[in-house]
Amino acid sequence: MPSDDETRFRVRPGKIRAKGGGKARSFLSQMRASLRRSGAARSYHAAGGSPSQKPGRPGQGAPRRQGCRGVRQGRGAAFVRGRQVAGWVHQRAGSRRVIVKSRMIRAPGRDGRARAHLRYIQRDGTSRDGERGQLYGPESDRADGDAFLDRGREDRHQFRFIVSPEDADQMQDLTAFTRDLMEQMETDLGTKLDWVAVNHFNTGRPHAHIVINGRDDQGEDLVINGDYITHGLRERATELVTLELGPETALEQRRKLENMVGQDRFTQIDRQLLALADEGPIDMRGDQGGDHVLRLRRLAKLEHMGLAGQAEPGVWTLSPETEKTLRELGERGDIIRAMNRAMREQGRAPDPGLFVFHDAASRVTVEGHLIDRHLADELGEMIGLVIDGVDGRTHHVTGIDPAALEGVRTGGIVAVGPEAAGPRPADREIVAVAGQGGVYRADVHLARAQAMPRIPGGDADAYVASHVRRLEALRRAGIAERIEDGVWQVPGDYLDRAVAYDTAGARQLSVRVLSNLDLDAQVTADGATWLDRGLVSRGTSDVVDSGFGHEVIAARQRRQERLLERGDAWHGPDGDIRYRKGLLATLERRELERVGGEIAVARSTSFRALADGETMRGTLREKVRLASGTYALVENAQEFVLVPWKPVINRRIGQEISGVMRAGTMDWQLGRQRGLGL
């Protein structure tokens, strides 16, 4: 029998600060907890309880009621709870269907993607009249996108929505609809929203792109309930469209379902069939009324596609890959339509048999005429490009970061492939030190570095050591050969093989502008054009005498005639065309001297051509696009220079920068990036 002490006091070990301890709960707190456990919390609020008093966590007391899961946090939660009890309007028969796609972007002002997205959704060809898309807001038909982005620069996140009513072509005013929708959203969320939108009419279904900054009207982080994003906004949009156009008639519903039967995409009928398949094989025997005939016709279509089969007559099973396959086919169909449209706008007859598709994992480089760009995922994170290739085929490349398209113009000549912008400055320096013999010596390089007016990084030994590490990495790849310590054999095609090595290891796709000029402008240009590089190249050519490749071959012939007229080329004894030694450098120098002279007159200053090994410090004024490429205008108090542009200085316009000219390119010294150029 236990002693009196044991019955009076018993130690119960537990964690420090365990929830079982603490001060006693008040009577009001106990009452609220009891109400929550009994499921009477809603009745309490209806009787006058404050809606700001938060309900308890799920799992405390009785289990959470079915249907209210995940709706207790974030703005809009109260609206979601009410609709889950009363039923969703957008799920009722007769409601107009609206597709809403959403995405939350974290740290939108950090890497320029928000600016690229906003600029992109305003691109040419998206308005009703085919002009540039117009940004609008709650009260203005011409919203200031830069001011909007500045207000959201420090926000933790940004919300993006695409609202696409199925019957948008019948609606009177998509802008007024969007404003009404956002007013209703503000009411549901209990805060004013900072938003802008653009209407798009360049697809078969008009839709609105809406961008919302991530703070509420009190300056706090805007936290929207997840179920409101998933269902609530679609609910409000459905209500507005149904109010304007009236409920959908049975005849309209039947017609839409009939149109879905033969589609190569995931449809509403497929969703119904998958719901039936969750309970086992689908029994279609006998006349079941309703949409029975349409489902049978759809099952026959899926059987033809290899996605359905009959276990026995009238009893059907679906492939586990049905939904995934149909969604992928739908995306592919959208891409093909975009390619067909782009080809027709170029006055060319599209040939689907010559369509080639690439994704971000593709290791192939595509070169050709950029004829179209579009949102690959409709929310602007990745861009799809349509390229009329020099190989006679039409290519679609997806997975392009919007930031990679800064300064890339539709209509230019581009190369898209694994990210590798060209030979590294370090590789150019290695080739320069190796010289004609192709032997790189670290001691020779050290003496060369010590003689420089300004050593990148300030340490000659570290500078040379970085190049030795690069050679060691390429030795392991079988590109360079170490003869002895500090001495390396560099092959004649070292630069090409080094670029190929970097390209093979790249994880993202890059877009390199080969020329901003069309073929006709390149034929008459005085600079070193993309056509010239093709003419003097001794490597194998990917140009095929078909499609755009045929146009390239004809343009090269006209360019040859132009070079012959100028004396930059001549006919050899055997009738072949021979070009001036160093033709590309000569043409580039001529164009820079001409343009530099014109700019010098306009700016009342002097122009100087920067020689190899020279350093230039000044203010980056602007980007200058020439036939020979894109150049940076860097100016100081005495003069200005035109030097090759690099993406690393994209956001440096108006700032002071410095760099060293090495082997025809600039080794920019920008804070932490200064120095080695590896």
Q: Is 438 left (phi over 0), alpha (psi -120 to 50) or beta?
A: left
**By the 8 A CB rule, do 135 and 143 touch?**
yes
Instruction: List the CATH number of the domain containing 91.
Output: 3.30.930
The reported pLDDT for the residue numbered 49 is 39
Looking at the fold, whether 82 and 216 belong to one and the same domain comes out as: yes
Q: How confident is the model at residue 422 (pLDDT cuts 50, 70, 90)?
A: low
DSSP codes joined into one string, 177-204: HHHHHHHHHHHHHTS---EEEEEE-SSS
Residues 101 and 203 in one domain: yes
Is there a domain that residue 676 lies in?
A: no
% of residues, the chain, pLDDT over 90: 38
Shared domain check, 523 and 475: no
**In this predicted model, what pLDDT tens digit does every residue of 143-164 receive, in sequence order?**
999 999 999 989 999 999 999 9
Same domain, 158 and 305: no
d(CA 527, CA 587): 5
User: CA–CA separation, 566 vs 561, rounded Å?
Assistant: 9
Give the model's pLDDT for residue 16. 46
Pick the last residue of a domain from 245, 267, 300.
Answer: 245
**What's the confidence (pLDDT) of residue 554?**
95
Beta bridge partners of 103: 160
Separation of alpha carbons 408 and 650, rounded Å: 12
429 and 294 share one domain? no
CA distances from 638 to 518, 598, 604, 606 (A): 36, 17, 11, 7
Question: What digits encode the pLDDT tens for the residues 91-104?
Answer: 888 899 999 999 88
Tokens of 308: 């359905």
Assess contact for 315 and 285: CB atoms under 8 A: yes
Q: Which residues contact 10 (CB under 8 A, 6 or more apart)?
A: none
Specify whether 291 is located in the same domain as 311.
yes
Give pLDDT tens digits for 284-325.
Answer: 887 776 788 899 999 999 999 999 999 899 899 999 999 999
User: pLDDT tens across 83-142, in order?
Assistant: 988 888 888 888 999 999 998 888 887 767 788 788 888 876 778 877 888 999 999 999
Quick check: 504 pLDDT over 80? no
Together in a domain, 333 and 480: no
Residue 56 covered by a domain: no
Q: What is the mean pLDDT of residues 523-533?
A: 92
Q: What span, in angstroms and rounded, lies between the C-alpha atoms of 352 and 343? A: 11
Half-sphere CA count of 393, side-chain side, radius 13 A? 14
- CATH number of the domain that residue 398 is part of: 2.40.50
In DSSP terms, 606 is beta-bridged to 639
Q: Are 619 and 636 in contact (CB under 8 A)?
A: yes
144, 93: one domain: yes
More confident position, 31 or 407: 407
Which of 505, 527, 558 terminates a domain? The answer is 505
Q: CA–CA separation, 659 vs 596, rounded Å?
A: 19
**Which pLDDT band holds residue 417 (cuts at 50, 70, 90)?**
confident
**DSSP state letter for 658:** E
Residue 21 lies in a domain: no
Q: What is the pLDDT of residue 377?
A: 64
| 101 bridge partner residues | 162
Cα dihedral angle (542, 546, 551, 554), rounded to 10 degrees?
A: 80
Distance between terminal CA atoms of the chain?
Answer: 82
The reply to whether 119 and 230 lie within a common domain is yes
CA distance 176 to 635: 49
* Range in 25-34, 155-164, 244-253 with the lowest mean pLDDT: 25-34
Contact indicator for 657, 438 with CB cutoff of 8 Å: no
Query: Token digits for 514?
Result: 């080969």
Q: Which pLDDT does position 227 carry in this prediction?
A: 92
**What CA–CA distances, in Å, run from 395 to 356, 358, 511, 534, 542?**
5, 7, 14, 21, 14
Work out the mean pLDDT of the chain and round it to a whole number.
82
Range of the domain at 338: 325-418
Domain-embedded: residue 55: no
Domain limit, last residue, from 470, 505, 540:
505
In a domain, 39, yes or no: no
**Tokens 């000659």 found at:** 460
Quote the pLDDT of residue 458.
Answer: 67
My answer on whether 268 and 187 are in the same domain is no
- pLDDT value of position 203: 74
- 237 and 104: one domain? yes
The verdict on residue 20 lying in a domain is: no
Q: Report how many domains make up the chain.
A: 6
365, 417 contact by CB (below 8 A):
yes
In a domain? residue 450: yes
Asked if residues 140 and 158 have their Cβ atoms less than 8 Å apart, the reply is no
Q: Do 90 and 218 fall into the same domain?
A: yes
CA distance 504 to 363: 7
| Rounded CA separation 63/252 (Å) | 43
The per-residue pLDDT for range 378-403, each reduced to its tens digit, is 665 678 899 999 999 999 998 887 77
In a domain, 315, yes or no: yes
